[in-house]
Amino acid sequence: AMEDACAKFVSQKISKARWRPLPPAALQPPDLFATGSWDNEDNRISLWSAAEVGNAGLGGECQGEPQLLCDIRHDGDVMDMQFLDQERIVVASSTGTVTVFRHHQNNQTLSASQRWEKAHYHVDQDTSCGGAACTGVICNKPEIVTVGEDGRINLFKVDQNAAVRTIDNADSSTLHAVTFLRTTEILTVNSIGQLKMWDLRQQRNEPSQIFSLTSDRVPLHCVDRHPSQQHIVATGGQDGVLSIWDIRQGTMPVSLLNAHEAEMWEVHFHPSNPDHLFTCSEDGSLWHWDTSTDVSEKPSFLLQGGRSTAYFSHSSVNQSVASAWLNNDPAKDRIEITNLVPNQTLSVNSLDVLGPCLVYGTDAEAIYVNKQLFA
């Protein structure tokens, strides 16, 4: 519920929010996150401590708020952002540049430790206005993959000055997002509704597989892979629809779930509890999709109000795969959906989930932290 989230107003439109990954075997919940801004005169990368964000007060109101640890100016809009490790954050800019920022924990400062100027560009790298937005970045240390408006894919290695590999004409349309499928394979989504698989071991500059939404060519904006069942992939697009794909089967999504009323900006499987999935949208909503509970006993209805819950029957789903997301078990034939931001009006641009914690950022110049996702 909304009451569980603590808001912090930051006088900047927030385009990205990311939890710092926990060290291996860490038992505590995440306590530090980064944000990036867009559409401001002076965009910034900021690091926040969520340690003070406490349990609800007696009246259910939130106690404490995120504390700013440090920030640094960023050239251009922050288009994407990923932690490379505990100390470094890789940031994609609308100028086409990709920057690695380092967090110095001893004195709480941020510095740019590495920069690939105009990793993405139109025409050629030398023209002054030739930069093309870098739209997506994904890290698997030491490797960093970026995609852009120029249809280019770059493979970088941290601490190496030149790209290890560049696929120049990977796509004739804008690439909007990228994720790792396996250590040597990536998935990209583009502005004409295609999901493409690339094998980075191959020297060929063609995708190893192409998947397509429909003939409608609805732009896809985001993609995430199921953390344990790597053949299950979720994408979201301009029409707000959530698509679930089984990349072992056919070239079409196995299910299309009507979701948001406007562009879906991000989709994330919960990293350790992937029966739960989260999506956020231009329409100001953030949905928690839960396939873990047996809600088949509940009536199917759409509640107007604080916690709007919808149940979608899976009858339209291709039912040949045993997974919560592609299931034909009658006990699993519904997905419970909760809008965690019932009264928001402006776009929810970004979200991240880790352990029991959710962080999200909005065009209302606010960041929100909920530490009791599963309470």
3-state secondary structure of 92: strand
- Lowest mean pLDDT, pick from 62-76, 142-156, 182-196, 316-330: 316-330
For residue 54, the model assigns a pLDDT of 72
Flag whether 154 is in a domain.
yes
Give residue-wise pLDDT tens across range 184-209: 999 999 999 999 999 999 988 999 99
Flag whether 109 is in a domain.
yes
pTM beyond cutoff 0.85 = yes
What CATH number should be reported for the domain holding residue 356?
A: 2.130.10.10
Q: How far is CA 241 from the centre of its chain?
A: 15
Confidence of residue 3 (pLDDT cuts 50, 70, 90): low
For residue 206, the model assigns a pLDDT of 95
Give residue-wise pLDDT tens across range 264-309: 999 999 999 999 999 999 999 999 999 886 544 443 333 333 333 4
Percent of the chain with pLDDT strictly greater than 90: 69
CA-to-CA dists, residue 269 to 35, 203, 223, angstroms: 20, 31, 10
Flag whether 315 is in a domain.
no
- Lowest mean pLDDT, pick from 80-94, 174-188, 332-346: 332-346
For residue 285, the model assigns a pLDDT of 95
Flag whether 42 is in a domain.
yes
Total number of domains in the chain? 1
Confidence of residue 149 (pLDDT cuts 50, 70, 90): very high
Query: What token pair was written down for 79?
Result: 């288009």
- Lowest mean pLDDT, pick from 130-134, 242-246, 281-285, 365-369: 130-134
Tell me which residue range forms the domain holding 240: 5-53+63-293+325-370
CA-to-CA dists, residue 36 to 40, 91, 124, 249, 255, angstroms: 11, 8, 27, 37, 32
- Lowest mean pLDDT, pick from 93-97, 165-169, 211-215, 283-287: 211-215
Flag whether 309 is in a domain.
no
Flag whether 161 is in a domain.
yes
Cα 152 to Cα 173: distance, rounded to the nearest angstrom = 10
Query: E strands of 117-215, at which residues?
Result: 134-140, 143-148, 153-157, 165-167, 175-182, 185-190, 194-199, 209-212
pLDDT at 52 over 90: no
For residue 326, the model assigns a pLDDT of 78
Flag whether 58 is in a domain.
no
Give residue-wise pLDDT tens across range 325-367: 776 443 445 788 999 987 778 999 999 999 999 999 999 999 9
CA-to-CA dists, residue 35 to 22, 194, 213, angstroms: 17, 29, 31
For residue 216, the model assigns a pLDDT of 79
- Lowest mean pLDDT, pick from 19-23, 177-181, 252-256: 252-256
pLDDT at 9 over 60: yes
Flag whether 358 is in a domain.
yes
- 139 versus 257: the higher-pLDDT residue is 139
pLDDT at 320 over 50: no
Mean pLDDT computed over 145-158: 96
- Lowest mean pLDDT, pick from 137-141, 251-255, 283-287, 328-332: 328-332
